Structure 1
Amino acid sequence: MSYQTIEISIASRVATVTLNRPDVRNAFNETAINELALAFDELGRNDDVRAIVLAANGPAFCAGGDLNWMKKMAGYSDAENLDDASKLADMLRTIYLCPKPVVAKIQGDCYAGGMGLVAACDVAVCVDEANFCLSEVKLGLIPATISPYVIKAMGENAARRYFLTAERFSAKEAHRIGFVHELVAADALDATVAAIVKALVTNSPNAVREAKVLVRDIAGRPVDDALLADSAQRIAAIRASSEGREGVASFLEKRKPSWLN
């Protein structure tokens, strides 16, 4: 499929989805939202893909909403605004629930809705000179649609500050509060992301998929009898799975598992 706002490439079982509107700092509009949702849905169902990298062209990763799109929204009815917001919410959920692990490769500044894109990913690697900002309240808005993912990523305490102040903060601060996993110099970004992706694609595809679901399902739950029963059932099921049996057998037989062949 031909895309207007993104580029997609697949090599060595890794798909790279690249935001490709550098002239507007990769700000998104209706087309970009629809294309990202479609791309991640299709890649999530592609058996030849084991990991996805979300990257961007140009100096900025993503500046949030496109100004022309925002001007257009100013004239929307309540029903049109709700429909528009729902499409953005669906796109973010598609990335968050994607069965393949997703790595955000942040090569530049990331503002507003762009932070939602990063927060919906599983791993975030960022250059050390990037800046971040949740700027919505400066415009009389709130970061509502991205909030489920951003709050999970940075924590409630940090969200209370940055949602309310709209301060710009550094990559170092983003790392300190846990929003990004790793900071690197610009010339080390490619190699660092490649190393993480290599780790992802050499693991059992089924186990990686189930581990992603595990984190999502277990986080925040009380350690009670129901949780213990759930976790026991999950490990029993994956031990009995074909990849579970193959992984243990290959380890004991000191050979590569079949998914690496």
Structure 2
Amino acid sequence: MNWQTLDVSVESGVATVTLNRPDVRNAFNETSIAELTQAFRNLGVDGSVRAIVLAASGLAFCAGADLNWMKKMAGYTHEENRADAMQLAHMLHTIYTCPKPVIARIQGDCYAGGMGLVAACDVAVAIETTHFCLSEVKLGLIPATISPYVIKAMGENAARRYFLTAERFSAQEAHRIGFVHSVVSADALDTAVADVVKALVSNSPHAVKEAKRLVRDIAGVPLSQELIVDTARRIADIRSSEEGREGVRSFLEKRKPGWLDD
């Protein structure tokens, strides 16, 4: 595809989706939202892709909504605003439910909707000078569309503070509250991301897909007989799968599993 707001590449089974509007700090508009949705939909079903890195060009990772887009939204009717918000919601859900593991490579500041992007990813690595901010209430708005993902990532208690105060906070604070998994120097960012990617692609592709879905489906669900039955079914399914059988055989035979021979 001829992307207008992204760069998309695939090398050795790893896709990199790069936000490429550095002149506006990679802020969202209708085009970038549609292209992110399409890119992750395509990569999610691409059998050659084992992992996806979400990156950004320039000094900022993502500044949230594009100012020109916001100006246009100011004149929308309620129904037009709802339809517009649904496009963003669909994009975030596409990333969150993508069958492939997604790593956020955060090389700069991340505000508002950009935090929703990070929260929809599976692993987040940020440089130590990154700042984060849920700035919506400063504009008389609320971070509604991104909230399911951000609250899952940082927890209710932290969300209660940062949703309400719109304070800017550091990468170290983001790590403390669990919003990002690792904080590294700028020089170490690519190595840190590569280490995560290496760990992901060493594992069974089918098991990684099912483990991602397991976390999504089980987190926050009360323990019940139904849940016990469901998890027993899941392990039975994976044990009897082709990759499940191959993984156990290769371990017992002290050899590399077949998926590492590809």
Alignment partner, residue 167 of structure 1? 167
2:34 maps to amino acid: N
**Is 1:30 aligned to 2:20, yes or no?**
no
Alignment partner, residue 112 of structure 2? 112
1:159 maps to amino acid: A
Q: Deviations over 1:125-179 (max 9, x none)?
A: 0001100000000000000000000000000000010000000000010000000
Quote the Cα distance in structure 2 between the aligned partners of 1:144 and 1:80.
16
Superposition TM-score, scaled by structure 2 size: 0.99
Alignment partner, residue 11 of structure 2? 11
Unaligned segments of structure 1, at least 5 residues: none
2:214 maps to amino acid: L
Structure 2 counterparts to residues 1-261 of structure 1, below 5 A: 1-261=1-261
SS of 1:99's equivalent? coil
Cα deviation for residue 224 of structure 1 reads: 2.2
1:17 maps to amino acid: V
2:110 maps to amino acid: C
Cα deviation for residue 202 of structure 1 reads: 1.2
Quote the Cα distance in structure 2 between the aligned partners of 1:142 and 1:219.
25
Cα deviation for residue 197 of structure 1 reads: 0.3
Cα deviation for residue 226 of structure 1 reads: 1.5
Cα deviation for residue 52 of structure 1 reads: 0.2
Aligned length: 261
Quote the Cα distance in structure 1 between the aligned partners of 2:175 and 2:145.
22
- Percent of residue pairs identical: 75
Superposition TM-score, scaled by structure 1 size: 0.99
Quote the Cα distance in structure 1 between the aligned partners of 2:247 and 2:164.
48
Quote the Cα distance in structure 1 between the aligned partners of 2:240 and 2:81.
48
SS of 2:250's equivalent? helix
> Alignment RMSD, CA only?
0.6
2:205 maps to amino acid: P
SS of 1:103's equivalent? strand
Q: Deviations over 1:89-144 (max 9, x none)?
A: 00000000000000000000000000000000000000011000000000000000
Quote the Cα distance in structure 2 between the aligned partners of 1:220 and 1:30.
33
Quote the Cα distance in structure 1 between the aligned partners of 2:158 and 2:254.
46
Unaligned segments of structure 2, at least 5 residues: none
SS of 2:75's equivalent? coil
Quote the Cα distance in structure 2 between the aligned partners of 1:35 and 1:234.
33
